[in-house]
Amino acid sequence: MAKWTPKHEAPEPLEGPVVATITGGTILWFVLFLVQLPFYGWFDDHGHLWWVWTCLAGGGLG
């Protein structure tokens, strides 16, 4: 199988504000969770409660 694998150089890693990007994404997920809390009943009635918990998981895992 190795003879069929093309040999080429790996691309350069992306450079940028990695910590700021992760922090911003974490804050965004948590803010979305807080914004959805007042509408908890609506999400529950329409079967979309997982949206609320997805935002909390995104904030927690970030």
4-62 pLDDT per residue, tens: 777 788 888 888 899 999 999 999 999 999 999 999 999 999 999 999 999 999 999 98
The residue whose two tokens read 């509408």 is 39
Cα angle, residue 35 at apex, residues 37 and 42 outer, rounded to 5°? 45
More confident residue, 1 or 51: 51
User: What would the two tokens of residue 43 be?
Assistant: 């999400």
The 8-class DSSP code of residue 46 comes to: T
Position 1 scores a pLDDT of 56
Q: At what angle do helices 49-61 and 18-36 cross, to 10 degrees?
A: 150
